């Protein structure tokens, strides 16, 4: 609401005189919001907008005459600009813009006000003030006259050429600056202000192209910047002999279009308009100039682009690695560049072929080496497609179906179904824009398998411990589909009265093809102590197991028979002992008709052993140290993350009777558990020990030491005597003698094997990669008899 209201002399009464105040009548008929009047002029308004009635000295008020007090902001509306002199009328004029052109003819107006101007008696009641780098109350209009913006009384909603001006003509304004025009009511010193802030922007004529070089059958975007709503003429070269010159093919030109090579356009409020230029397929490869003329331009403004005749580019991504194994799935991929407009949304075929050892000279499809690709015959190639949505092409090369030899092969990619012979040199019929199509070399070798036991096990396990090992296989063993990420591996274990088959149907493939086996404690607890063979079975290059346990791909359990893939019994293991069962399986895998590969290792299963070292002669107050050696498992983790360590629990019991009749008292021990230490190859055992125990509070007498491993269901005991204080020692406490009762306990030296002359010898080809083996006693013992028990890595030749 405004701060002052108008003169009230019109409300004087001949009898009652001048009003002393005016009031608003609320809904209950009470006088509210009184406004005092002095000299027929109201003081500052404190009430609400509405009808106010005059009240006289005697307290009476008028019932028929009133004045209407309104909020100035509600009455004025927004300040806007009215554009003058543009070639094209803006959609909304007057309008309100955040940016006003520097050189546009404008008049600031209040087109939406609702003020009762007929009651203002033609008195000056408002003014404008332009606030830029300085404040000014005058402007230079388009006629060149200086016009004051103060003491104005005309209706501010009506156009008036005297107040039309350009911001560029005002000393207070510079382009790129922030400016405010202020409308101010001045009647009765009201001083109510309504500001309009905006940005001043100059729009000189410029032309911008989306690209400086373009392929034929593509489009360019031409952005024209200029004065908003002013008309500009745009021109392209006109062909003289019917050539396919670039032409205007869309955008914001003014209708009607003069021709394909001449259009007129006007920018919008942002000073820009965009036009599309199409490049025909037969456009001559040369430069073309776009020119523009318009207001305030003396010389045409131009920009140039070039039409390039270069064809699509085929990109073939470099492989992740150079060496692969037959059976691996190799992802071939790439993209296309310089795709023309008509092909941008289509699937574009990419033709693949391969050359290499013993392959046809013109190349072969990736799925059949026996066939030669034929030029101009797409169905003889391996075909994939560029996907415009993904922006790439790809093909998963399943090399298990690639019946080739070890060697280096080259995969070729082309946009035409033309083989190697007519695309292998620049300018050949199968070249791409005169260049040789892209290709990459891939070194393929035969499948491999390696295996090892953890050096922490020494290849020896106690009954009740986890049985585990690691292996590594290349060649996608047992993968059943090109989208699979895991394969299938088998293994067999032969030992005293034991023949067993197992499998892993989720063997990791590719670079992640490192895994292992983990058999539970219950598995080894039921094994007879002795020496065992383990054979790891890989399906080979054809990726199919040619031998099946019990004629079942997914068999797990006691093994009696081996079958080939047609269901024929190959080996009957039911009556064979350990040596002959292993020999029979190896001979079957070595058959010329079988391409499966294998590797074999040995391990030993022993009965649990815990040797407790005698603490020697101790007297009350000595530190009791319990230590010894064991073949139970130390710290370790299997391939699937299982913790294999055995927990050894210590208990010490007093055997003598003491005062009070108590016997067999269990002594308190601060830390009563430990795990075995590092494997010692010389003994085949691991040391263990407990923290020293204070005996100061113990009674003299006989004591029993018990070390128990609940996981393997085994415990061992030993006794010692604790003498009274002051007793004569018979030996050093630091070097106690071995308890004679423990000298009869069996030891576990590194396992060895009696050579079996009947096992088949297999030579390791020179191309076989070095097995991934950590030299542990288990492997050393096996390598020592490799000439008799078979090769560490056996492969098909």
Query: Could you check whether the bond before residue 50 is cis, i.e. omega within 30 degrees of 0?
Result: no
Q: In whole angstroms, what is the distance from residue 84 CA to residue 62 CA?
A: 49
Determine the pLDDT at residue 773: 30
- Does residue 690 register a pLDDT over 70? yes
- Is residue 251 within 8 A of residue 219, CB to CB? The reply is no
Residue indicated by tokens 């001979």: 587
- Is residue 436 within 8 A of residue 428, CB to CB? The reply is yes
What tens digit of pLDDT does each residue of 395-429 get? 999 887 777 778 899 999 999 999 999 999 998 99
Q: By percentage, how much of the chain surpasses pLDDT 90?
A: 52
Q: In whole angstroms, what is the distance from residue 437 CA to residue 25 CA?
A: 93
φ/ψ bin of 681: left (φ > 0), alpha (ψ from -120 to 50), beta (otherwise): alpha
- Is residue 600 within 8 A of residue 706, CB to CB? The reply is no
Determine the pLDDT at residue 66: 84
DSSP per-residue letters across 35-88: EEEETTEE----S-SEEEEEE-TTS-B-SS--EEE--HHHHH---EEEEES-SS
At residue 203 the predicted structure's pLDDT band, cuts being 50, 70 and 90, is: very high
Q: Which residues contact 491 (CB under 8 A, 6 or more apart)?
A: 501, 502, 503, 517, 534, 535, 536, 537
What tens digit of pLDDT does each residue of 152-201 get? 999 999 999 999 999 999 998 999 999 999 999 887 677 789 999 999 99
Is 374 strand, coil or helix?
coil
What tens digit of pLDDT does each residue of 624-680 get? 999 999 999 999 998 888 999 999 999 999 988 765 555 567 788 888 999 999 999
DSSP per-residue letters across 697-710: TPPSEEEEEEEEET
Name the DSSP class of 212: S
Pairing of strands 514-519, 50-55: unpaired
DSSP per-residue letters across 505-559: EEEE-GGG-EEEEEE-HHHHHTSPSEEEEEEEEE-TTTTS-SEEETT-TT--EE-
Q: Is the dihedral of CA 424, 429, 430, 436 positive or negative?
A: positive
Which structure tokens are listed for 636? 């370790």
Name the DSSP class of 117: G
- Does residue 521 register a pLDDT over 70? yes
Between 439 and 748, name the one with better pLDDT. Answer: 439
Determine the pLDDT at residue 658: 64
- Is residue 493 within 8 A of residue 603, CB to CB? The reply is no
Determine the pLDDT at residue 790: 30
- Is residue 719 within 8 A of residue 740, CB to CB? The reply is no
Q: In whole angstroms, what is the distance from residue 135 CA to residue 157 CA?
A: 23
What tens digit of pLDDT does each residue of 589-637 get? 998 888 888 999 999 999 999 999 999 889 999 999 999 999 999 999 9
Task: Quote the mean pLDDT of the chain.
Answer: 84
Q: In whole angstroms, what is the distance from residue 246 CA to residue 3 CA?
A: 66
Q: Which of 109-118, 300-309, 773-782 has the lowest mean pLDDT?
A: 773-782
What tens digit of pLDDT does each residue of 213-260 get? 888 878 899 999 999 999 999 999 999 887 889 999 988 899 899 999
Q: Which residues contact 676 (CB under 8 A, 6 or more apart)?
A: 630, 632, 633, 634, 645, 646, 648, 686, 687, 688
What tens digit of pLDDT does each residue of 525-568 get? 999 999 999 999 988 877 789 999 999 999 999 999 999 988 99
Determine the pLDDT at residue 509: 62
Is 400 strand, coil or helix?
helix
Q: In whole angstroms, what is the distance from residue 622 CA to residue 511 CA?
A: 58
At residue 306 the predicted structure's pLDDT band, cuts being 50, 70 and 90, is: very high
Cα 441 to its chain centre, rounded Å, is 29
What tens digit of pLDDT does each residue of 451-507 get? 889 888 889 999 999 999 988 877 767 665 544 567 788 999 999 989 999 998 877
- Is residue 609 within 8 A of residue 746, CB to CB? The reply is yes
Between 493 and 748, name the one with better pLDDT. Answer: 493
Residue indicated by tokens 């391996």: 382
What tens digit of pLDDT does each residue of 28-50 get? 889 888 888 877 776 656 667 88
Between 358 and 6, name the one with better pLDDT. Answer: 358
Q: In whole angstroms, what is the distance from residue 157 CA to residue 160 CA?
A: 9
Residue indicated by tokens 């304004």: 173
Is 22 strand, coil or helix?
strand
- Does residue 756 register a pLDDT over 80? no
Determine the pLDDT at residue 743: 37
Q: How many CB atoms lie within 10 A of CB 44?
A: 10
Between 325 and 394, name the one with better pLDDT. Answer: 394
Q: In this structure, what is the dihedral angle of CA atoms 153, 157, 159, 160, given to the nearest 10 degrees?
A: 10
- Does residue 143 register a pLDDT over 80? yes
- Is residue 233 within 8 A of residue 262, CB to CB? The reply is yes
Determine the pLDDT at residue 45: 60
Pairing of strands 146-148, 138-140: antiparallel
Q: Which of 86-90, 188-192, 718-722 has the lowest mean pLDDT?
A: 188-192
pTM over 0.75: no
Which among 593, 603, 613 is positioned nearest to 544, based on CA atoms? Answer: 593
Which structure tokens are listed for 520? 């539970």
Is 10 strand, coil or helix?
helix
- Is residue 648 within 8 A of residue 708, CB to CB? The reply is yes
Angle at 461 between CA 459 and CA 466, to 5 degrees: 110
- Does residue 714 register a pLDDT over 90? yes
Q: Which of 371-375, 508-512, 744-748 has the lowest mean pLDDT?
A: 744-748
- Is residue 42 within 8 A of residue 5, CB to CB? The reply is yes
Determine the pLDDT at residue 174: 92
- Does residue 770 register a pLDDT over 50? no
């Amino acid at each position: 609401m405004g701060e002052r209201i108008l003169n009230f002399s019109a409300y004087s009464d001949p009898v009652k005189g001048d009003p002393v105040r005016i009031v608003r009548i609320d809904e209950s008929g009470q006088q509210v919001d009184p406004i005092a009047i002095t000299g027929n002029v109201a003081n500052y308004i404190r009430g609400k907008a509405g009808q106010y009635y005059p009240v006289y000295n005697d307290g009476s008020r008028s019932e028929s005459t009133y004045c209407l007090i309104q909020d100035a902001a509600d009455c004025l509306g927004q300040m806007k600009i009215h554009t003058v002199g543009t070639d094209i009328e803006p959609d909304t004029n007057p309008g309100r813009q955040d940016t006003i052109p520097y050189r546009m003819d404008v008049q600031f107006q209040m087109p939406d006000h609702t003020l009762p101007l007929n009651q203002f008696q033609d008195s000056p009641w408002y003014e404008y003030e332009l606030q830029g780098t300085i404040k000014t109350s005058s402007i230079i209009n388009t006629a060149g006259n200086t016009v004051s913006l103060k003491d104005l009384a005309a209706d501010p909603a009506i156009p008036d050429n005297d107040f039309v001006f350009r911001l560029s003509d005002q000393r207070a304004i510079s382009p790129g600056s922030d400016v405010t025009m202020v409308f101010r009511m001045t009647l009765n010193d009201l001083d109510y202000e309504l500001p309009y802030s905006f940005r001043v922007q100059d729009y000189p004529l410029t032309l911008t192209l989306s690209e400086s070089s373009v392929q034929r059958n593509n489009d360019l975007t031409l952005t024209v910047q200029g004065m908003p709503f002013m008309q500009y003429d745009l021109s392209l070269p006109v062909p003289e002999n019917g050539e396919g010159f670039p032409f205007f093919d869309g955008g914001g030109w003014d209708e009607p279009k003069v021709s394909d090579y001449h259009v007129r356009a006007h920018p919008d409020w942002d000073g820009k308009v965009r036009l599309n230029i199409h490049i025909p397929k037969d456009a001559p490869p040369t430069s073309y100039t776009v020119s523009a003329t318009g207001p305030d331009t003396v010389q045409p403004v131009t920009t140039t682009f070039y039409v390039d005749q270069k064809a699509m580019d085929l990109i073939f991504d470099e492989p992740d690695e150079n060496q692969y194994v037959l059976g691996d799935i190799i992802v071939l991929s790439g993209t296309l560049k310089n795709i023309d407009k008509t092909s941008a949304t289509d699937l574009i075929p990419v033709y693949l072929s391969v050359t290499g050892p013993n392959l046809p000279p013109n190349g072969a499809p990736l799925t059949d080496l026996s066939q030669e690709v034929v030029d101009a015959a797409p169905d003889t190639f391996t075909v994939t497609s560029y996907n415009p949505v993904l922006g790439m092409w790809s093909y998963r090369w399943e090399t298990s179906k690639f019946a080739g030899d070890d060697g280096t092969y080259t995969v070729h990619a082309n946009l035409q179904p033309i083989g190697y012979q007519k695309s292998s040199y620049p300018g050949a019929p199968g070249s791409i824009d005169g260049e040789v199509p892209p290709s990459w070399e891939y070194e393929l070798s035969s499948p491999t398998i390696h295996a090892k036991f953890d050096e922490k096990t020494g290849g020896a396990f106690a009954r009740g411990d986890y049985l585990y090992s690691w292996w590594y296989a290349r060649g996608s063993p047992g993968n059943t589909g090109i989208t699979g990420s895991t394969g299938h591996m088998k293994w067999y274990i032969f030992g005293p009265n034991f023949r067993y088959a197992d499998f892993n149907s989720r063997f990791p493939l590719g670079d992640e093809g490192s895994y292992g086996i983990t058999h539970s404690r219950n598995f080894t607890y039921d094994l007879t102590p002795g020496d065992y063979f383990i054979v790891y079975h890989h399906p080979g290059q054809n990726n199919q197991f040619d031998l099946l346990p019990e004629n079942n791909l997914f068999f797990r359990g006691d093994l009696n028979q081996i079958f080939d893939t047609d269901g024929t019994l190959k080996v009957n293991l039911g009556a064979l002992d350990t040596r002959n069962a292993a020999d029979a399986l190896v001979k079957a895998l070595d058959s010329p008709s079988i391409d499966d590969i294998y590797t074999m290792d040995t391990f030993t299963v022993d009965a649990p052993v815990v040797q407790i070292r005698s603490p020697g002669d101790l007297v009350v107050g000595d530190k009791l140290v319990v230590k010894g050696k064991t073949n139970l498992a130390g710290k370790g983790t299997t391939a699937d993350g299982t913790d294999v360590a055995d927990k050894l629990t210590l208990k010490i019991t007093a055997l003598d009777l003491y005062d009070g009749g108590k016997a067999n008292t269990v002594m308190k021990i601060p830390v009563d558990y430990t795990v075995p230490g590092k494997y010692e190859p010389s003994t085949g055992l691991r040391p263990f020990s407990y923290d020293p125990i204070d005996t100061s509070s113990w009674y003299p007498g006989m004591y029993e030491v018990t070390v128990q491993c609940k996981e393997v269901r085994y415990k061992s005991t030993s006794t010692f005597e604790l003498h009274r204080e002051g007793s004569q020692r018979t030996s050093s406490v630091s070097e106690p003698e071995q308890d004679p009762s423990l000298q009869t306990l069996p030891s576990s030296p590194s396992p060895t094997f009696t050579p079996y002359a009947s096992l088949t010898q297999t030579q390791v080809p020179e191309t076989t990669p070095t097995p991934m083996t950590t030299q542990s006693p288990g492997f050393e013992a096996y390598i020592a008899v490799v000439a008799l028990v078979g090769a560490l890595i056996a492969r098909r030749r």
